[in-house]
Amino acid sequence: MRGIYWFAAMSAVALVSSAAAAQDMSFPKGGDIPTKFSPVRDSFAYVKREVEIPMRDRVTLHTVILVPRGATRAPMMLDRTPYSADKLMTDKSGGPQIEDALFPSYAELAHGGYIMVAQDVRGKYKSKGDYVMNRPLVGPLNATKVDHSTDAYDTIEWLVKHVPESNGRVGTIGTSYDGFTTLMSLVNPHPALKAAVPINPMVDVWKGDDWFHNGAFRQEMMSYVYSQTAKTDSSEEWYSNRYDDYATFMHYGSAGALATAMGMDQLPFWRRVSQHPAYDVFWQGQAVDVILARAPLTVPTLFVDAQWDQEDIYGAPAAYAAVKSSPNAHFVMGPWYHGEANSEASSLGVLDYGNDTGKAFRSTVMIPFLDAHLKDGAPAVVTPAVTVYETGTNSWHNYAEWPRACDGCATPLKPLYLAGNASLSFSQPVAGTAYDEYVSDPAKPVTYRNRPNAEPYAKGSTWSKWLVDDQRFASARPDVLTYTSDVLTAPVHIAGQPVAHLVASTSGSDSDWVVKLIDVYPDQYPQKPEMGGYELAVSMDVLRGRYRDDPARPTPIPAGQPIAYKLVLPNANHVFLPGHRIMIQVQSSWFPLYDRNPQTYVPNIFFAKPADYVKATQRVFHAAGQASYVALPIVGD
C-alpha cells in the first residue's frame, strides 16, 4: 500500500511540474522583446543620455550627451553632424571605457573632464525636419526661419539649462561638414559659446573644397552626394559595375550622364549643383569666409588645416584669413590628411614624422586652448596666432602671422620661372625657345593617381593618401610638361600659398590647367631607399580656363592666343632640403577626380556630348615678355 501512495504522490508532483513548465513555455503577449529595456551601466566610466532638443520652429533634433562619471562643473563640447550622433558617440564597441565610445581626440577631451555632445543636424538620422546640404543662412537662399546658426544657438540654450553637471560653458568642434556647422555656430553666437575648433571645414565648395576647385567639378564626390542625400540615414550606397573609377567615368562620358544613369536626377541637391557650374550668387551667398568677415569674431577660434587635405584643403586657411585681424583667431596647420588631426598621425603614406603629430597638436595646443576658455579656474594660456608643422624638417613652429610671405606681405613672393630644356630658374628668361607644347586628348586623360582609381569611400581605398603619391607616373607622360631645378645646395623654405602664373594657349576654346609644385628626392636616399627619386607633391591645384577672367561669367578661350592665367595653390609650410630638386608639372586633365574638360566651349560641361570632346594642342610659354612662373612664398629663417 505504501508503494501505491508514494507512486500517486510522485505522479501528482509530476503533473504540477508539467503544468508549471507548460506555463513557463507559453509565449508572452508582445513577444520576447520588452516595450522598454533599461541596460545597467553602473560600472561604465561614463553616462550616456539621448534627448530630443526642440528648436525655435518646434522641430526636435536628436542629441546624445556623454558625461564622464562623477563630472561636476564640467564644460561641454558640441559636435553637430550629418553622420549620425549615435555613431559618433559609439565609435567602437560601446563598452565600459571612454575609449570604447569615442574616437581618440574626443576620448582625450572626455578624459580631461569635458561633457561630449553630438547632435544629428535637422533631417538626418533621428532628427526631425528637412535636410538641406550645407543649409545656407536665413536670407535670399533660405526662405525659412532656421539655419545651422539658429540651431546651434537653440541647442546651446537648451544644454546650459538641462545638463546639471555642466558649468554653463560650451565649445563647438567638428571636422569637415561638422567643421562647417562649427563655423556656423560663430554667426550670431550664443553667449555661452566660449570657444570653437573647426577642423578641415567646408568653407567655399566652388573655389576649393568639396564640389569644385576653381570651376573644375570634383566628380569623385558624386558618390558622397548620392549616399548623403538619397536617404535620411545615408543607407543608400553608391554602386558601380567597375572597380576602376577611370573606367566608370570614361564609359558614361560626362558627370551628368553618369548621374542620370544612377538616378541622381531625383536628388534636389544634385540638380542644384549641376545647374550652377559657375561661381554665381548661389555659391557666392554660401561662402563661409565671406559670411564670417561681416562681423567681428567674438569667440576664440582655432582654425585647423591639413597640408594634404584631400577634401577641404581650401576651407580653414580661407576662414582664418577672413578674420585673422581678431585676437580671437588662431591658425594651425599639420602634416595631415582630412581629419587626421583627430587620430594617431605619425605618418602619411611614405612620410614618417617620427612621432604622433596629431597627439602633439591636441595635447600642446588644442586642449590647453579649450581649457583656458571653458574650464573653471583654468590657468591662462597664450595660444600663438599661428602654429604650423614644417614638413621637410619635421618640426613645429609658432609665428605671429600666416602666410609668412605673400603679395602684399613684408616678405614678397619670389618667381621661379619655367625655362627651356625643361628647367627652372629664379632668373627671368632672356632668350631660348618660346614655348613647350603637348597634345591634350580627352580620350586619354591624365589620371590623378596610378590606376586603378578606386572609388574614394570603397573598402580598401587609399583615398586619404593620394596627395602624397609619387608623381613619377605623370612625369613619364608626353602630355605632362615637367620642369626641374638644379640640385639645391641650400634649403628653400616656403610658408604660404604658391601662385602659378601661366602664359599659355590652346587650339581649343576651353581648357583646364593643372599645376603641381613637387619636391624631388635625391636619386640615392640611404635613410629610406625606396624614396630615391621620389616626386612628392607639395602643393597642386586646377583651374578651369573659362573662368580665367570672371568665375561668375565664363567665356570661351580665344584659340591659339597666349593668355595669362593665375592659379593660387594650396598652403604649404615646407623645406626643400639640400640635395633635393624643385619640380613643376603642367597638364590639362586630372581624371577621374575632376571631370574632363571637352576643350570645346559648351554652356554646361556637366552635359557635354561625346562630339564635344576634342584633342587640343597646348602651349606653355617661357620666352622673354611671355614668361610663365610659379611665385613661391620663400622665407629666410
Whether 5 is covered by a domain: the verdict is: no
Q: Which of 283, 317, 332 is the last residue of a domain?
A: 283
**Residue range 315-346, pLDDT digits in tens:** 999 999 999 999 999 999 999 999 999 999 99
- Whether 304 is covered by a domain: the verdict is yes
Confidence of residue 1 (pLDDT cuts 50, 70, 90): very low
Task: Decide which of 268, 283, 298 is a domain's last residue.
Answer: 283
Q: What is the 3-state secondary structure (H, E, C) of 213-257?
A: ECCEECHHHHHHHHHHHHCCCCCCCCCCCCCCHHHHHHHHCCHHH
Amino acid sitting at position 332: V
Q: Is 502 left (phi over 0), alpha (psi -120 to 50) or beta?
A: beta
Q: Is residue 110 domain-shared with residue 217, that is, in the same domain?
A: no
pLDDT attached to residue 560: 97
In whole angstroms, what is the distance from residue 150 CA to residue 55 CA? 8
For range 339-361, the mean pLDDT: 97
pLDDT digits (tens, 9 = 90+) for 150-161: 999 999 999 999
226 in the same domain as 116 = no
If you write DSSP's letter for every residue of 359-424 in order, what string do you get? HHHIIIIIHHHHHHHHSTTPPP----SEEEEEBTTTEEEEESSS-SS-TTSSS--EEEEEETTTEE
Q: What is the pTM of this model?
A: 0.94
Residue 503 has pLDDT above 50, yes or no: yes
Contact at 8 Å (CB) between 85 and 124? no
Range of the domain at 374: 46-206+284-399
Interatomic CA distance for residues 217 and 207, integer angstroms: 10
What pLDDT digit, counting tens, does each position of 261-306 carry?
999 999 999 999 999 999 999 999 999 999 999 999 999 999 999 9
pLDDT score at 432:
74
pLDDT computed for residue 321 by the predictor: 98
- Which residue from 378, 364, 380, 379 is spatially nearest to 113, judged by alpha carbons? 378
Q: Which three cell numbers stand for residue 376?
A: 573653471
Confidence bin at 225 (pLDDT 50/70/90): very high
Is there a domain that residue 7 lies in? Answer: no
Q: Are residues 97 and 181 in the same domain?
A: yes
Residues 451 and 567 placed together within one structural domain of the fold? yes
Last residue of a domain, one of 374, 399, 424: 399
Query: Domain count of the chain?
Result: 3
Q: Which amino acid does the sequence have at 414? A: K
Residues 199 and 171 in one domain: yes
What's residue 91's pLDDT? 59
Query: Is 409 a domain residue?
Result: no
Whichever domain contains 436, its CATH number is: 2.60.120.260
Residue 262: which CATH number? 1.10.3020.10
Tell me how far apart the alpha carbons of residues 282 and 374 are, in angstroms, rounded to a whole number. 37
- Report pLDDT for 179: 98
| 452, 576: one domain | yes
Asked if the structure places residue 62 within a domain, the reply is yes
**Rounded Cα distance, 276 and 552, in Å:** 10
Is residue 524 classed as helix, strand or coil in its secondary structure? coil
Domain shared by 193 and 221, yes or no: no
Are residues 198 and 308 both part of a single domain? Answer: yes
CATH of the domain at 186: 3.40.50.1820
For residue 25, being part of any structural domain is answered with no
For residues 237 and 288, state if they share a domain.
Answer: no
Q: How far apart are CA 22 and CA 172, in angstroms?
A: 58
**CA neighbor of 124 nearest in space, from 112, 132, 116:** 132
Inform me whether the pLDDT recorded for 71 exceeds 80: yes
505 and 597 share a domain? yes
Q: Is residue 479 part of a domain?
A: yes
Q: Roughly how many angstroms between the first and final C-alpha of the chain, as a whole number?
A: 112
Q: Tell me: do 331 and 479 sit in the same domain.
A: no
The predicted model gives 609-634 an average pLDDT of 97
Strand 115-120 relative to strand 351-352: parallel, antiparallel, unpaired? unpaired
Residues 347, 472 within the same domain: no
Is residue 564 situated within a structural domain?
A: yes
